[in-house]
Structure 1
C-alpha cells in the first residue's frame, strides 16, 4: 500500500479531523493570499502614483529669472520644464468656493481676491504631474500662451463658467507685493481654455478661501509678467521644475546645474522624493506593514499547524508502531503525514481564492489608509509647526489612497508554494518526537 493511498484512506476515515484541518489550512491560505495580493497591488499603486515623478527636480524658495532658466535648459539631459510665477488680484462678481472647515483668517480687503499662478506649461505643473488634479475639459496652458487661464470645476459650476468665457483681474494697488511700482497694467483679461478637477474628492475642503485649490486660477506666465511689469532679467519664478528622461541619472543633472555660471540666489534644489515626501514614505511604510503581515501569517501558520500536528501525531503512535513493524520507514510515515495535508490543501487553497477576493481589497484599503495617516502624522511632527493648506504645501503631505487588489492565477501559485512550505515545515517540526525515537522505543510506547 503506497503513501498516497494510506493518506487518502486516513482522510476519508477521520472525517472530523480532516474537516478541522481543512478549516485551519483554509484560514492560513486566506491570510497568506491576502498578503501576497496586497503586496502586488501596493507595488502597482506605487508605480502608477510615482510614474513621471522619479526623474525631475525643482528649484524652490528663492526666485530666479527667465535668463537663468534658459541657461539651465541648455543641459541636454533636460527634456521638459515648467516655471511658475506668483500672482493674483481682485475679480468683481466672481463667487468663491467655500471651505467646509474654514481656518480663521482676516479677509478684510481680500473679499474679491483670487490667486492666479502663472505657468509656462500646466501639463508639467507638479499638481498635474502627481495626479492630485486633472484636466477634465479643454486644454492645458502651453508655452507661448498669453491671456489664457484654467479654472477649477467647482468654481466654474458655482459661477456658470464655460470654455471661452473671460475673467478680468484688477490689480490690488498698494496691497500686492509682487507688483513693480509704476509698471505693468491695472487689469488683465484671461480667456478660460481649460477646466480642472481634483483626482480624489476630499471629504472636507479645509483651510481659508485663499488656500483652496478650487479658488486657484492657473494662468500663463506671459500674462502675469505683463500684468506686473516684469522683464526677463527680473527674479520672478518661485518654482521651476525640470524633467529628464526616465533612464537619466537626476543627481548627475543636478550636479551640472550647480556647475553652471548662474546665480541661484541660494535656492533649494529638491528631487521628487523631497517634494512628494509623504507619497514616497507612505509606500515605504505600506511595504513594511505588508511584509510584516506576510511573515506574521506564515510564522503563525507554522506555529499553529505544528502545535496541532504534534498532538495528533502523538495520538497516532499506535499506527506509527504498526507501520514500523511491517517495515515502513520513518521517511515514508512522515511523507504520509505531508501527503494528507497536501491532499486537504487542494480544497482549502482553492476555497481561499474566493475568500481572498472578498477580504483582500478591504485589507489593502485599510493598510493603505493606516500607512498614509502614519506618514503624514510623522511629517507634521518632524516639521515642528502647522503646515499650510495651500495646494503647493499639500504636495508635501500628499499620499495615494488608491489601491486596487486583484487575485490572479499567479498569486494562487505563490499560495501553493508558500502553503506547501508551511505544511512541510510544520510536519517536520511536529514529527521530531518520532524521528528521534528508535523503532523499539516507538513499539514499546504502543503498550
Structure 2
C-alpha cells in the first residue's frame, strides 16, 4: 500500500513529466487499437465479399444464336462442390395489348416488328440472374421466381406503371404463333449494364419468366446459358477445371466464363491491407518501445537522487522498481481511457470508408461495420502494456544492476 501511495504522489506532483509519458502511451495505445480494430473490420469485409459475390461460371455457345444442350448442363450440375445452378433461355417476344417503353433519344429508326418485341429471359431461379447478383436490378414488390413456379413472370416497374400491371395480373406473351399466359409474381427496378439501342435491350422492357415458359416460346428444350455457383470462392478454379475435363464435350463450340476476376482483385486488396495492418501493428509496437524506452531512461536518470535516498533508508531495489511500475501503471490506465475513445472513433471512420469503397466498387450489399469485439481491444491493451513493461525494464536495468554503493557514489 505504501508503494501505491508513493507512486500516486510521484505522478501527481510531477505533472509535466507524467503528462509527457501519458501522451506517448496514449499514442501507442491509439495506434494499436486502430490497427487491430481495422484489421478486424477487414476480416468482416472479406467474409461479406465472399458471402455476397457468388463465385461461379457460365457455359454458353460460341455461336450468336447457339444453344447449350440440356444434357451437358445437367452433367455439370451433378459435379461435386456445385452449390447452386441457374439455367436460362432467352428470346424476344411480343406482348399483345401492352405498350413497351420507348428508346427515347436513341436516334435509331427500327423495323416495327423488331422494335415492338420485349426481351424474355426464362430462368430456374430469377434471383441468380446476373442482373440481380450484380445488383443492376432490385426486386421492389412480390417475390423471386423459383424452380417450382409455373407460368410466372417478373416485370419492370416502369413497364408495370405504364400498363397498370400489379402482382397477380395475367400477361400474354407471343412468339411465332406460340402463346404463353403468365402471372406477374413480382416487380423489379434498375437499369441494364449496357446502353440500349433496341426496345428489347432496355431493362424496362425485360420480362423474366420461369424456364419452362421461355422454352415454350422458343419451342426448344435447350438453353441459352447455364450458370453454376461454387460453395466457396477458393473452389472455383478446381470446379472449372473439372468441368473442362468432362468427356464428350467439344469446348471449341462452347465458352466457359468464370467471375473469379470479379472478386479475386478485391480479396487480394483486402489481404494486402491486412498485411499492411499487421506490419503497422508490429511497427507501432516497436516504435513505441523505442521512444518510450528512451524517455524512461531520462526519467530514471533524473530520479537518481530519489533512488539514492530510498536506498540509503533501507528501501530495496524490488520496492523501488515496484513503485516505478506502479507509477507507469497509473499513467497507462489513464492513457488507455483516452486512447480507447480516440482509437475507436478513428478506426470506425477508416473502416466505414474502406467498406463503402469496396461495396460500391463490387456492387454488393452494403456491409454493416460492426463494433470490434472486446477481445480485440483487450489484445490492443495487452500489446500496449507489454510495450510499457519492456520499456520500463530497458530503462531501469542499467541503474538497478548497480550496487547501492555505486549509485550513492554518483550523488556525492
TM-score by length of 1: 0.70
Equivalent residue of 1:140, what SS? coil
Equivalent residue of 2:249, what SS? coil
Equivalent residue of 1:260, what SS? coil
Distance in 2, matches of 1:48 and 1:224, equals: 34
Match of 1:260 among 246, 249, 252: 246
Aligned to 1:58: 57
Match of 1:219 among 209, 215, 233: 209
Distance in 2, matches of 1:106 and 1:215, equals: 18
Look at both structures and tell me which one has the larger radius of gyration over its CA atoms.
2
Distance in 2, matches of 1:231 and 1:87, equals: 13
Equivalent residue of 1:51, what SS? helix
Paired residue total: 398
More helix by share: 2
Equivalent residue of 2:330, what SS? helix
Aligned to 1:368: 355
Equivalent residue of 1:406, what SS? coil
Quick check: 221-230 or 415-424, which moved more?
A: 221-230
Q: Is the aligned partner of 1:93 residue 2:102?
A: no
Could you report, residue by residue, the CA deviation over 1:176-225 in whole angstroms, capped at 9, with x for unpaired residues? xxxxxxxx558766543123467xxxxx9986247886775433333333
1:301/1:137 CA distance change after superposition, 3 Å: farther
Aligned to 2:44: 44
Distance in 1, matches of 2:356 and 2:99, equals: 40
1:271/1:206 CA distance change after superposition, 3 Å: closer
For the aligned residues, what is the CA RMSD? 4.3
Distance in 1, matches of 2:325 and 2:102, equals: 69
Aligned to 2:64: none
Q: Is the aligned partner of 1:412 residue 2:377?
A: yes
Quick check: 159-168 or 315-324, which moved more?
A: 159-168
Aligned to 1:384: none
Distance in 2, matches of 1:168 and 1:146, equals: 14
Contact 1:185 1:228 in 2 (8 A): no
Q: How does 1:178-257 map to 2 (within 5 A)?
A: 184-185=176-177, 191-196=183-188, 208-209=195-196, 217-232=207-222, 236-244=223-231, 254=240, 256-257=242-243
Q: Is the aligned partner of 1:359 residue 2:346?
A: yes
How far 1:82 moved relative to its partner?
0.9
Contact 1:361 1:405 in 2 (8 A): no
Q: How does 1:426-445 map to 2 (within 5 A)?
A: 426-431=391-396, 433-434=398-399, 442-445=407-410
Structure 1: tracts of 5 or more residues without a match: 99-103, 172-183, 199-203, 377-396
Structure 2: tracts of 5 or more residues without a match: 62-66
Match of 1:118 among 97, 114, 122: 122
1:133/1:413 CA distance change after superposition, 3 Å: farther
How far 1:417 moved relative to its partner?
0.9
Contact 1:152 1:217 in 2 (8 A): yes
Aligned to 1:392: none
Distance in 2, matches of 1:32 and 1:85, equals: 54
1:285/1:252 CA distance change after superposition, 3 Å: closer
Aligned to 2:292: 305
How far 1:362 moved relative to its partner?
0.9
